[in-house]
């Protein structure tokens, strides 16, 4: 082949899109509370979790590298006893806002029952509709949850198939045999702030309007603000009463709490530039459903 022909072939190959997995997840593990000199096990665990989340295909869609969903998982290990890890985990995900360099948070919440058994070099493999270990189940749950939230932000109720996958994981874990502390987080009525409660809210028809507002907030609100700030902000303000309605129907609902955990600062930043009526309306709603953050919301006064 001539040099010119080789260069032409190379250009063609470089122009072919390389389709990648859905997630770009950064994992960190804090083991400061654990005594002992063998810290390598935590590095091995971190690498295994990142590989599991980032190398598996979770959907039948194709994602380019720049379309991957950016997320992070911070695991704090509080104790390790006979290969049983007791941890808390902070999960965050975000997506870009159209036409800007800004990324908006979609998920920001903590799982305080992130408990699992693990030995160094254990294979972390997910088999759909089959329970293997609690660690693989929790990671799969959160992968589908991240994707579901992302899809809901781009299309109305677009995350439903992935939330259904979360529900399948919950059902499998409720009937699986595992260590006592590993079962925590999967059970109904155990807590109104666990993995079961969150996916139960998301799949409940009673919260359909909330999920539709989640789409409006991102696709018709934030994404619109690059072209017309006033219109985008008005759409966010116009639908925000859905949060109060859902909270009054079912007080202290987890899915509404998680929304505000992710969006409280953003809402204040958006409406500090709003009209007097927008500020007053949004302030009253936020104080009603989330009084613990009054100092933050007072910036709208």
β-strands 84-96, 69-81: how paired? antiparallel
At residue 144, the 3 state secondary structure works out as helix
Contacts of 23 (CB under 8 A, 6+ apart): 53, 54, 58, 68, 69, 71, 143, 146, 147
Looking at the structure, do residues 173 and 266 belong to the same domain, yes or no?
Answer: no
Looking at the structure, do residues 81 and 117 belong to the same domain, yes or no?
Answer: yes
The percentage of residues in the chain with a pLDDT greater than 70, rounded to a whole number, is 93
Number of Cβ atoms within 10 Å of the Cβ of 70: 17
Write out the two tokens for 263. 């969006």
Looking at the structure, do residues 181 and 35 belong to the same domain, yes or no?
Answer: yes
Cα–Cα dist 105/127, whole Å? 29
Looking at the structure, do residues 154 and 283 belong to the same domain, yes or no?
Answer: no
For the stretch 27-45, what's the b/e string if a residue is b when 16 or more beta carbons lie within 10 angstroms of its beta carbon? bebebeeeeeeeeebbebb
Looking at the structure, do residues 198 and 233 belong to the same domain, yes or no?
Answer: no
* SS percent in the chain: helix, strand, coil, step 5: 55, 15, 30
Write out the two tokens for 96. 């870009």
- Of 182, 203, 224, the position where a domain reaches its end is 203
Question: Domain tally for the chain?
Answer: 2
Instruction: Note whether residue 120 is domain-resident.
Output: yes
Using alpha carbons only, what angle is made at residue 231 by residues 228 and 235, rounded to the nearest 5 degrees? Answer: 140
pLDDT in tens, 47-104: 999 999 999 999 999 899 999 999 999 999 999 999 999 999 999 999 999 999 999 9
Long-range contacts of 10-15 (CB under 8 A, 24+ apart): none
Looking at the structure, do residues 195 and 231 belong to the same domain, yes or no?
Answer: no
pLDDT in tens, 148-175: 999 999 999 999 999 999 999 999 999 8
- Of 169, 188, 203, the position where a domain reaches its end is 203
Write out the two tokens for 80. 């390790």
Residue 293 φ/ψ, nearest 5 degrees = -105, 30
Residue 251 has a pLDDT of 86
Cα–Cα dist 225/132, whole Å? 45
Contacts of 63 (CB under 8 A, 6+ apart): 19, 20, 21, 22
At residue 83, the 3 state secondary structure works out as coil
pLDDT in tens, 232-253: 999 999 999 999 999 998 887 8
The residue among 259, 253, 252, 70 whose CA lies nearest residue 146 is 70
Contacts of 88 (CB under 8 A, 6+ apart): 75, 76, 78, 110, 111, 112, 114
pLDDT in tens, 6-60: 334 333 333 334 445 899 999 999 999 999 868 999 999 999 999 999 999 999 9
**Integer CA distances (angstroms), 37 to 27, 32, 43, 151, 260, in order:** 21, 11, 13, 43, 40
Instruction: Note whether residue 16 is domain-resident.
Output: no
């Amino acid at each position: 082949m001539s040099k010119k022909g080789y260069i032409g072939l190379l250009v063609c190959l470089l122009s072919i899109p390389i389709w990648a997995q859905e997630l770009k997840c950064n994992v960190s593990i804090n083991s400061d509370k654990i005594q002992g000199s063998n810290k390598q096990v935590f590095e091995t665990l971190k690498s295994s979790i990142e590989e599991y989340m980032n190398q598996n295909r979770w959907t039948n869609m194709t994602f380019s590298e720049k379309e991957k969903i950016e997320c992070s998982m911070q695991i704090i290990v509080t104790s390790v006893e006979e290969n049983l890890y007791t941890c808390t985990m902070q999960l965050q995900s975000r997506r870009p806002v159209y036409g800007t360099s800004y990324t908006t948070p979609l998920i920001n919440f903590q799982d305080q029952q992130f408990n699992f058994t693990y030995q160094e070099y254990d294979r972390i493999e997910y088999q759909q509709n089959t329970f293997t270990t609690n660690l693989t189940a929790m990671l799969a749950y959160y992968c589908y949850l991240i994707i579901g939230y992302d899809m809901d932000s781009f299309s109305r109720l677009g995350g439903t198939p992935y939330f259904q996958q979360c529900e399948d994981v919950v059902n499998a874990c409720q009937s699986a045999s595992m260590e006592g502390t590993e079962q925590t987080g999967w059970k109904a009525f155990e807590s109104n702030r666990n993995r079961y409660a969150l996916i139960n809210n998301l799949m409940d028809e009673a919260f359909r309007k909330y999920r539709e507002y989640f789409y409006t907030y991102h696709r018709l609100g934030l994404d619109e603000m690059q072209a017309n700030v006033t219109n985008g902000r008005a759409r966010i303000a116009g639908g925000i009463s859905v949060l109060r309605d859902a909270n009054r129907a079912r007080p202290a609902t987890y899915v509404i709490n998680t929304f505000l955990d992710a969006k409280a600062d953003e809402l204040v930043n958006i409406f500090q530039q709003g009209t007097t009526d927008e500020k007053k309306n949004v302030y009253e709603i936020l104080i009603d459903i989330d009084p613990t953050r009054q100092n933050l919301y007072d910036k709208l006064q």
